[in-house]
Chains A and B, each alone.
Chain A
Amino acid sequence: MKTNALRINPTDNVVIALQALKKGDMVILENEKSFEMLEDIQAGHKIALENIALSEKVYRYGEPIVEATRIINRGEWVHVHNTRPIPGDMTA
């Protein structure tokens, strides 16, 4: 089956939806087991590849980009509603 999500770096815990997906759709990645979407998502947005704990960092390009503001389950949409920029990141 054609992949519908993309992981950039092996240490990333989110993947990017390559197309809009609906709750119940299978997320298909190269070299990964597929899993189920727990909610609808727009193309280009992030899907949790693993469960993410409160305050745990979200990784993309192998670097932390935001931290979770609540528990996020595999298959959930990851964005500004359940994450925030990492406070330490903005300290020069």
Chain B
Amino acid sequence: MEFKGYQRENSSYGIRNHVLVMCSVNCASGVVRAIERALPEIVPVINNYGCGSGGNDVTVMIRTLAGIANNPNVAAVLVIGLGCEGLGAERLANSIKEKPVECLLIQRDGGSAATTKKGIEVGRHFLSLARVQKRVPVPIAELVLGLECGGSDAFSGITANPAVGAAADLFIKEGATTILAETTEMIGTAHILKRRAATPGLGEQVEELVNNQEKRVRQALGERAGMVIAPGNIEGGLSSITEKSLGCIEKGGTTPINEIVGYAYQPSKHGLVIMDTPGYDIDSMAGLAAGGAHAILFTTGRGTPAGFPAVPVVKVCSNSTTFKNMPGDIDVNAGTIIDADKSIEQVGQEIYELTMRVANGELTCAEKNLSIPFNYLKQGPTF
């Protein structure tokens, strides 16, 4: 089985052919916005920091931004920098491999108006290159799918997450890769995940990963740590992080865990992989995108319209009320498992088929809505 994708110089394949305009520091974001106004087809990626951060944060920042720029869905990248920022634009540009890259610096290139003018020329050129590229047949085994949940309710773990798990199993049967993330939402299930690891060594690693996250949460929140769930989750019926986590890991499906990677690193194995990301959706999606995810299967109970730059996000909601209340935001209604007699397997098949159509070019709701919130994990102070 195959899809049709865009071939990159490094023999990876994208399901989109986006031109990114990315700033290495927020001071330069005005130029990115101006280029976006002139060329609405480009995808803006605004770095909210880029200066005043400590070493660890800079390492994560550059790995995430470069990872997203290197994502196979990206055809070309224009980096806009200021010239004096901590995260040098040229350092970022040099981390982007095997695709057309240009770098402009506002302080060197004549201020924001002149840099914008040059940037529009570069953007236009990159768009013209992308426009003529044709899709070619690609085996499904090349697909990397990120898994995410946001705004969970008590139904998420009965309908949407098991249905995504069923779809994940179908993709893995074809040799593809799925990435289960959001370590906070594995708290309370370390013993279950340990059982599911492909090797005892991996089992120890995943147990340690989840237990370390528990420790950090407990340190930060003390006695109340078990209640680390958003008010919307509690209103939706979830009583503890363990209950929520059990529902969350359902979306990983039933296959063994083959690898554990850190935040924004690319998996080297196929099958089910775990990435260490926070529960906060936007940061988590940034990790998945930097890890090379072609698309993200995103379950929601209460409803969230959030997409991500350059990576199609497929929204699966857990119940028909949310589906009706947020028309145009949700791609698949798994509430049919509750009120229309569909089975988890049937909805899983629906998700699989839609994701294949998305791989071949069909737009998700979030893409049609141009929803591209962007941020990434920042853990240290700002100076």
B interface, over-half SS:
helix
- Residues A30-79 near B (CB distance < 8 A): 42-46, 58, 60-61, 63-66, 78-79
Q: CB-defined interface of A75-91 with B at 8 Å, one 1/0 digit per residue?
A: 00011100111110111
Interface: B225 (CB within 8 A): yes
Task: Indicate whether A65 sits within 8 Å of B237 (C-beta atoms), given known contacts A16-B154, A44-B154.
Answer: no
Interface: B211 (CB within 8 A): yes
With beta carbons under 8 angstroms apart, the residue of B153, B189, B225 that contacts A90 is B225
With beta carbons under 8 angstroms apart, the residue of B153, B236, B338 that contacts A18 is B338
Query: Which one of B188, B189, B239, B242 has the highest number of Cβ atoms from chain A below 10 Å of its Cβ?
Result: B239
List, in ascending order, chain A residues with CB within 8 A of B49's CB. none
Say whether A66 contacts B239, CB under 8 Å. Answer: yes
Say whether B226 contacts A85, CB under 8 Å. Answer: yes
List, in ascending order, chain A residues with CB within 8 A of B27's CB. none
Report the bound CA distance from A45 to B211 in whole Å: 28
Kindly count the residue-residue contacts between A and B in the assembled complex, taking CB atoms under 8 Å apart.
Answer: 84
Say whether B243 contacts A66, CB under 8 Å. Answer: yes
Least CB distance from A58 to B in Å reads 8
Report the bound CA distance from A6 to B212 in whole Å: 34
- Residues A1-43 near B (CB distance < 8 A): 6, 8, 16, 18, 42-43
List, in ascending order, chain B residues with CB within 8 A of A80's CB. 227, 234, 239
Q: CB-defined interface of B183-223 with A at 8 Å, one 1/0 digit per residue?
A: 00001110010000000000000000001101101100000
Least CB distance from B301 to A in Å reads 8
Say whether A44 contacts B237, CB under 8 Å. Answer: yes
Say whether A79 contacts B237, CB under 8 Å. Answer: yes
Least CB distance from A63 to B in Å reads 6
Q: CB-defined interface of B100-111 with A at 8 Å, one 1/0 digit per residue?
A: 000000000000
Interface: B246 (CB within 8 A): yes
Say whether B154 contacts A84, CB under 8 Å. Answer: no
Report the bound CA distance from A1 to B194 in whole Å: 41
- The closest CB in chain B to the CB of A80 belongs to B239
Say whether A6 contacts B242, CB under 8 Å. Answer: no
Top 9 nearest A-B pairs (CB, nearest first) are A85-B226, A92-B211, A44-B154, A65-B243, A45-B237, A44-B237, A85-B240, A61-B246, A66-B240
